[in-house]
Structure formats: structure tokens, C-alpha cells
């Protein structure tokens, strides 16, 4: 029964950008450098130079330049209808913590957005997604000393699925890390 709950929970995946267009990084592909790159803010306000590791902003002629928030969608493994972190998720969160503590991301704050698939009712999905975001933020703070003021957990419910063709898809049950100033 526990195995069935685990299998229904989700496989561990890290996805960047929109699901259909973005590359999906799995397991060992979710490296500290890949997470730093995904979470780096681009635009004229982003610091540049060798000590911060930010990419120079790119734009076409005549295009207005504005900052673009970094974003990494993490499908953290949870048992169905649970907010308890599974052991496999902790390894990816350990890598995420190292990225958040890097020079490139020092001084930035992050929204930890919890998501749920749409199988439950809206109220339960909102609550469950908040509990999942809270669990990820709590792990990062307790296990790695990430300052609480750098993490803002928010439950998004099932309002932003990555896979609209399959409502129960694992990628719809995820935690998204969004860089904020």
C-alpha cells in the first residue's frame, strides 16, 4: 500500500520554463550550476561581472529591456494527498540549497510556489499546495540554514498545470522556485 502511494505520488523531475517548450532535467541532470542558471535574473537591473556569475542581458534592436525573473520548477516527490517530503526529494533540495547559497544567488529572495494536480477539490488543492511549499521552505531553512526572509512559501493549488492534457500528470504536482529581488 505504501509503495502504491509512492508510485501515485510522482517521479522526481526538475523542469525549467514551460513544460512543453522547456528541457526536463532528471535526477543527476539537476545540478547546482543548472539551478543557478535557471534562477538567475536577467535584465538591466541584474548585476554582472565575474563575481556574481550573471549572464549579460540580451535583446534585439528596439526591444524594451526589462528584468526576467529566474524560475525552476521542481517536481518534488510526495505521496498522494500528502505534504511529507520523500527521501528522494531531499537530495534535489540539498542541491537547490547549495545553489541558493552560491555567490550568484546571494542576496536574492525566492518564492516557493506549491502546486497540485486537479484531482481534488479546489480548497483541498490550495491547502495541499501550501503545505507542500511550506515543507520545502522548512527543509531548506532547517537542514541548510537558508534564512526565512529569503523564502516565501505560497500555495497555488491546481491553477497552473504544466501538463494540461493529463490532469494527474506528475509534473502538475511540483514546487516552483521563483527569484524575486
Higher pLDDT, 69 or 133: 133
Mean pLDDT score across all residues of the chain = 75
Summarize the confidence of residues 145-163 as an average pLDDT: 95
Residue 128 pLDDT greater than 90, yes or no: yes
The phi and psi torsions of 124 (rounded to 5 degrees) equal -65, -40
Is residue 9 scored above 70 in pLDDT? no
Question: From CA 111, how far away is CA 113, in angstroms rounded?
Answer: 6
> Domain 2-55+66-180 carries which CATH code?
3.30.1330.60
Q: What is the pTM of this model?
A: 0.73
Banded pLDDT at 100 (limits 50, 70, 90)? very high
Q: Would you place residue 34 in the very low, low, confident or very high pLDDT band (cuts 50, 70, 90)?
A: confident
CA angle 89, 96, 39 (to 5 degrees): 130
Domain ranges of the chain: 2-55+66-180
The predicted model gives 108-114 an average pLDDT of 95
Q: Is 93 within 8 Å of 139 (Cβ atoms)?
A: yes
Query: How, if at all, do strands 175-180 and 71-75 pair?
Result: antiparallel
What average pLDDT does this structure show over 147-171? 92
Amino acid at each position: 500500500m505504501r509503495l502504491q502511494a509512492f508510485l501515485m505520488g510522482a517521479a522526481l523531475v526538475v523542469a525549467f520554463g514551460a513544460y512543453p517548450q522547456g528541457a526536463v532535467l532528471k535526477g543527476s541532470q539537476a545540478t547546482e550550476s543548472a539551478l543557478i542558471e535557471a534562477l538567475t535574473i536577467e535584465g538591466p537591473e541584474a548585476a554582472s561581472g565575474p563575481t556574481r556569475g550573471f549572464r549579460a542581458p540580451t535583446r534585439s534592436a528596439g526591444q524594451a529591456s526589462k528584468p526576467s525573473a529566474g524560475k525552476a520548477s521542481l517536481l518534488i516527490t510526495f505521496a498522494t494527498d500528502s505534504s511529507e517530503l520523500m527521501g528522494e526529494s531531499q537530495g534535489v533540495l540539498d542541491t537547490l540549497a547549495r545553489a541558493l547559497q552560491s555567490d550568484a544567488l546571494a542576496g536574492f529572495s525566492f518564492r516557493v510556489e506549491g502546486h497540485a494536480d486537479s484531482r481534488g477539490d479546489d480548497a483541498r488543492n490550495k491547502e495541499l499546495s501550501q503545505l507542500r511549499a511550506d515543507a520545502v521552505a522548512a527543509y531548506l531553512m532547517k537542514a541548510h540554514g537558508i534564512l526565512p526572509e529569503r523564502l516565501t512559501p505560497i500555495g497555488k493549488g491546481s491553477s497552473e498545470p504544466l501538463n494540461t492534457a493529463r490532469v494527474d500528470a506528475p509534473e502538475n504536482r511540483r514546487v516552483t522556485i521563483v527569484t524575486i529581488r
